[in-house]
A and B are shown apart, each in its own frame.
Chain A
Amino acid sequence: MDDVLARAERVVDEGIGLTESDLRALLEVGDDDLPALLDIAHRVRLRWCGPGVEVEGIVSVKTGGCPEDCHFCSQSGRFDSPVRSAWLDVPALVAAAEQTAATGATEFCIVAAVRGPDEKLMRQVRAAVRAIRETVDINIACSLGILHPDQVAELAELGVHRYNHNLETARSYFPRVVTTHTWEERWETLQLVRSAGMEVCCGGILGMGESLDQRAEFAAQLAELAPDEVPLNFLNPRPGTPFATLPVMPVGEALRAAAMFRLALPRTILRFAGGRELTLGDDGIREALRGGGNGLIVGNYLTTLGRAPQADLALLEELGEPIRSAELSALSKAL
């Protein structure tokens, strides 16, 4: 174990992510070595991303009724979930962006529960992006599922700064999570996004029954993709979904996993997202921001609630972490 920590230590100076087998070993670091692992992950983050935590808010423009069958998702129309379809109009999207900007967040992501956008959704997003860009000082991201090349080009042209499309889990485990589309289809959209010049945001959900091997495999696959941002969600088992009875991931396992992702991806924004309240709790999120993480979703999620933004902002102040500005993000990318 000392050996893998020694190799992890080298990432601080070299900035090159660990191999998949080393990443796998990190997931079994003993409790005694966990503080050392978190400390290394923290120093890797400081060295290769700089100080500061990127803060983002998200909102659902189209909720529920999705034709896909992602087994963790309460918005799939294929499961007996209590989530009903809802649609947010443009003034409400602008108001949500204003709410988000008021927290000091620099990123606002518009999300839709779809396989991919149809013309009605594209019209709504088009109008919302234009309206938000006119009135709110915030970067706009979108998460609208699988895209055609012309849709990618249009989003880039509109000024969408980052596109989120999660691979969700390791390629080898994906067929156990989703059967209505493939990991490769998601990968293709991510390549289109990058070639259009938008930033790539791609992460997933931990604790969906994947093995530790698959967790390390996923980190290695994300390292190959090299996204600008990796959102890390922890499964919050939703009523009515096939994963409803899976257990919530223990905090120690989540901290090891987060540090492991940092050691795979020294330069990315590693953002703690859905499920963190249940898995990490108040103390765990503090440790996670001292253990490789440098991003937060503040406020509520798409169908569930988060901590009050003031609680997270107070935590950042306590940790001496400034909110990372868009300019700083661009600068550290050039490191």
Chain B
Amino acid sequence: MICAAVAGVFCERCGSPQAEGDHGACGVVRVWEPPRYCAQCGRRLVVQVLPVGWTARCPQHGEVA
């Protein structure tokens, strides 16, 4: 089971571990972007942007909210 504590291990914008490097700039531009990487495992997500909203799916962890 994935426990909530591991969520957010990876940066959803650049895919690097949150603990490595500075992700401040990622956070700023992320306002205008859907997530691109799974926060739990760092894999690239399959993302569909829609006129209103988006969907994203990790091959390992399924739908990302």
Contacts and interface: CB of A to CB of B under 8 A. Distances in A.
Contact of B36 (A57, A82, A236): A82
A176 B47 CA distance: 29
A59 B44 contact: no
A88 B48 contact: yes
Contact of B47 (A86, A95, A309): A86
Contact of A84 (B13, B33, B46, B51): B46
Contacts of B49: 59-60, 63, 300-305
Contacts of A299: 51-52
Q: Is the interface of B mostly helix, strand, loop or mixed?
A: loop
A58 B33 contact: no
Interface in A94-153: 95-96, 99-100, 103
> Contact size class for A?
20 to 34
Interface in B10-65: 13-15, 29, 31-34, 36-37, 44-54
A239 interface: yes
A57 B14 contact: no
16 contacts: A63-B48, A82-B15, A83-B36, A86-B46, A95-B50, A103-B51, A278-B32, A300-B49, A300-B50, A301-B49, A303-B33, A303-B47, A304-B32, A304-B34, A305-B32, A309-B51
Closest 8 CB pairs of A and B: A82-B36, A299-B51, A57-B51, A99-B51, A99-B52, A86-B48, A100-B51, A84-B46
Interface of A: 57-60, 63, 82-86, 88, 92, 95-96, 99-100, 103, 236, 239, 277-278, 298-306, 309
